[in-house]
Amino acid sequence: MTDVTVLGGGIFGLAVAWACTRRDARVRLIEARRIGAGASGGVTGALFPHVPENWNLKKQFQLDSLLMAQDWWAEIARASGRDPGYARVGRVQPLADAEAVVRAREHAAGAAENWRGAASWELRESVPGLRVESPAGAVVHDTLSARLHPRRACTALALALREAGAVLCEEGTGSLRGAVVWATGWEGLAALHGKGGRPVGVGVKGQAMLLAHDAGPAPLVHAGDLYLVPQADGTLALGGTSEREFTAPTGTDARLDDLHTRAVALCPEIFGAQVIERWAGVRPRARSRAPMLGPWPGRPGHYIANGGFKIGFAVAPMVGEVMADLVLEGRDTIPPGFRVEDSL
């Protein structure tokens, strides 16, 4: 017997399956390839909040999820016996000029108001960890951001689910029994269409790199679209390109070389570090730019959990909970802006 069938073994599918299993639902997860085969199997693993200004429900949802994350991942580590690589290490953002310093001070006020003491956002001259070049001579340091190892996190979730009695089918298909949650990543998103046949979302390719550089439990570094994430296993992950047009979903190219060059310029101490791996994958971005959660219109008993894009791991704990509320209890706790209809 199956109460819930989850299609997709990325972070959204695994999080929904975990939340339902913890509520004693009988869960079957079907992944057409392997767990973490898509964008969730990357190397970067940066979990950070939106800028704390112009506060809205999307930012509150992400804040709530980031605050849940430490206990959530600790429970998964205990249940699986595997370390997902999670740690709330904070984040450093170098500032480009005097104008950026002024904005950073304004954001600090927003963090004080909206984070309500749960974490801080401070302007500092330097922060222990990776030594970064900051043209303005100052950096932002927030204590809310965290890192994890995406592949290890997916593996830990899969093991925890099996230990809890869920059935996971990799490289498989099967009958759709019970409520069905479609968490099928960018390919599933691309197959959906809204009003007038317009697409509800697209795939956005990202490239990343893993270096043999042990920075210890240092804060992750975020400079524009460049991320440096020190991992617990003594590696350093670099990400993240955003490519709307691509021909090779998993191929790397000169864009990643440019990313590496910029990373070395920002953080000279990583010069000469061995490149362990080059990675590319495609992330699902819904038309609304927010996660796409809720009932599938016109298909009773079917639900969609997709569109994690760059914040999939950051919001996964809350995504699992609100989808379990809806699927198992019929309670709609999905915030406006995250609903399926917002992307139709």
* pLDDT at 343 (0 to 100): 86
In degrees and rounded to multiples of 5, residue 223 shows phi and psi of: -135, 100
Tens of pLDDT, residue by residue over 92-142, are 999 999 999 999 999 999 999 999 999 999 999 999 999 999 999 999 999
Count of domains observed in the chain: 1
> Measured between alpha carbons, how far is 220 from 238 in angstroms, rounded to an integer?
10
Whether residue 12 is contained in a domain is answered as yes
Domain span holding position 306: 4-96+147-200+287-343
Whether residue 216 is contained in a domain is answered as no
* For residues 299-316, average pLDDT: 96
* pLDDT at 324 (0 to 100): 98
30: β partners: 7, 169
Whether residue 163 is contained in a domain is answered as yes
* pLDDT at 1 (0 to 100): 82
- Residue type at position 194: G
Q: What is the CATH number of the domain that holds 332?
A: 3.50.50.60
In degrees and rounded to multiples of 5, residue 43 shows phi and psi of: -120, -10
Contacts of 278 (CB under 8 A, 6+ apart): 207, 208, 209, 210, 252, 256
Mean pLDDT for the chain overall: 95
pLDDT over threshold 80, residue 285: yes
* For residues 221-230, average pLDDT: 96
Whether residue 32 is contained in a domain is answered as yes
Whether residue 154 is contained in a domain is answered as yes
Between the CA of residue 212 and those of 141, 209, 241, 258, 316, what are the distances in Å?
A: 25, 10, 20, 18, 28
* pLDDT at 168 (0 to 100): 96
* For residues 270-294, average pLDDT: 96
> Measured between alpha carbons, how far is 96 from 276 in angstroms, rounded to an integer?
30
Both structure tokens of 283: 């992330």
Whether residue 27 is contained in a domain is answered as yes
* pLDDT at 196 (0 to 100): 74
> Measured between alpha carbons, how far is 132 from 83 in angstroms, rounded to an integer?
28
Between the CA of residue 234 and those of 43, 210, 217, what are the distances in Å?
A: 13, 10, 9
Tens of pLDDT, residue by residue over 68-96, are 999 999 999 999 999 999 999 999 999 99
* pLDDT at 344 (0 to 100): 82
Both structure tokens of 241: 């390109």
* pLDDT at 78 (0 to 100): 98
pLDDT band at 197 (very low <50, low <70, confident <90, very high): confident
Percent of the chain with pLDDT over 70: 100
What is the DSSP code (8-state) at residue 164? T
* For residues 280-299, average pLDDT: 94
pLDDT over threshold 90, residue 174: no
CB 276 within 8 A of CB 235: yes
| CB atoms near residue 47 (< 10 Å) | 28
Q: Residue 195, class by beta-carbon neighbours within 10 Å (0-12 exposed, 13-18 middle, 19+ buried)?
A: exposed
* pLDDT at 94 (0 to 100): 97
Q: Which residue intervals of the chain are DSSP H helices?
A: 11-22, 57-80, 98-114, 150-163, 185-190, 254-266, 312-329
Whether residue 41 is contained in a domain is answered as yes
Cα distance from N-terminal residue to C-terminal residue, the chain: 33
The continuous run of DSSP H or E covering 285 comes out as strand 275-286
* pLDDT at 193 (0 to 100): 83
Whether residue 248 is contained in a domain is answered as no
